[in-house]
Amino acid sequence: MQNATPGRHGRLRPALLYPAGILLLLMSISAAVSIGTVFVPMPVVWGVIADRLLPGLVEQDWSAGQEAIIWNIRLPRSILACLVGAGLAAVGASLQAVTRNQLADPHLLGISSGGAFGAVLALLHTGMFLGQLTVPLLSFLGAISATVIVLAVSRLAAAMSATRLVLAGVAVSFAVMSCANLLIFLGDPRAAHTAVFWMLGGLGLAQWSHLPVPVVGLVGCLVYFHLRSGELNAVTLGDETASTLGISVTRFRLSVFAAGALLTGIMVAYSGIIGFVGLMMPHIARMLVGGDNARVIPAAALSGAVFLVWADIVSRSVVAPEDMPIGIITGLVGGVFFIWLLRRRKY
């Protein structure tokens, strides 16, 4: 279909923005791997990574301890931060477009809460019956279930609309989080601390073996959102306009919600609940590139990746050597951003 592009053109050209964003992301990852309780000089970081990728390329002048810190702990953690930040931001941008509500994000619409419920169920009650796949699987099923409930509630006694979707999402989010808290209350007190810390968001358990599933999920959903960016643009102009362009609006919303639930469930399974990333980053992306979702979604993903890497750096540094839950950092920044947004726009 023809691409219907809402809003004005952005100030920055993609040919400039995306390479600059990727460079900033790589620099941020380097800083994240370098900074910590044990500081590792940046040349050592680059040397270890180069030696791991291309053995024999550089002369080894670092200790085994430094190599273990870089390769086994900090680098997979930083890459997971990139993946989670990019995924949540991309889902937020797509949900804001399809609901025509710039305050929509995975947490507000109940998707993150559903993923949290499934993960808490796995951590405290079902046991790891599928090994490392148990938490991701139940988290994904929880996210999908919450999405189905939101869609069903939004269609009660009336046709589905963007406003009803948001209201249903808020209601389901509160209800599901209450159920997750009940599971924690009823669970083993010795394991409850782990579940509570996980629900506040954290990347401390990142391993290389955890990364393939988020990578595949992120790439697949980014490709899907890009291919459907024309429909997303049309829906932002109104249901009637989208219908005249040949779009089945209800079916399209269902497909976007399903993709968003899939990606959110995957990310929540490995990071816990990290709020506000999906709310903030699409706004920043629109300020940079305008309203075309073909540009907004990748720009939001890049912004989310950079933001969460730095949020993780702060969470590791504030109460070092302990880790502060990263959700606390994103919540504080998100609260300030929300106030700024309310002052900037008239809702």
- pLDDT at residue 188, as a whole number: 79
pLDDT band at 84 (very low <50, low <70, confident <90, very high): very high
Number of structural domains found in the chain = 1
Residue 319 lies in a domain: yes
Cβ contacts of 130 within 8 Å, gap of 6 or more: 137
Residue 232 lies in a domain: yes
Q: Which residue has the higher pLDDT, 196 or 33?
A: 33
Buried b (16+ CB within 10 A) or exposed e, 310-332: bbbbbbbeeeeeebbbbbbbbbe
Q: How many CA atoms lie within 13 A of 341 on its CB side?
A: 17
Name residue 290's beta-bridge partners: 9
Residue 71 lies in a domain: no
- pLDDT at residue 139, as a whole number: 83
CB-CB contact of 6 with 237 (8 Å): yes
Say which DSSP state 122 is in. Answer: I
**53-77 per-position pLDDT tens digit:** 998 888 888 899 999 999 999 999 9
- pLDDT at residue 295, as a whole number: 94
Residue 75 lies in a domain: no
Would you say residue 127 has pLDDT above 80?
no
We report the CATH number of the domain holding residue 119 as: 1.10.3470.10
Residue 24 lies in a domain: no
The pTM assigned to this predicted structure is 0.90
Separation CA 225–CA 253 (nearest Å): 12
- The residue segments making up the domain with residue 254 are 84-344
Residue 135 lies in a domain: yes
**132-144 per-position pLDDT tens digit:** 778 778 888 888 8
Residue 38 lies in a domain: no
**260-277 per-position pLDDT tens digit:** 988 988 898 889 889 899
Residue 304 lies in a domain: yes
Would you say residue 2 has pLDDT above 50?
no
How large is the greatest C-alpha to C-alpha distance in the chain, in angstroms?
70
Would you say residue 346 has pLDDT above 70?
no
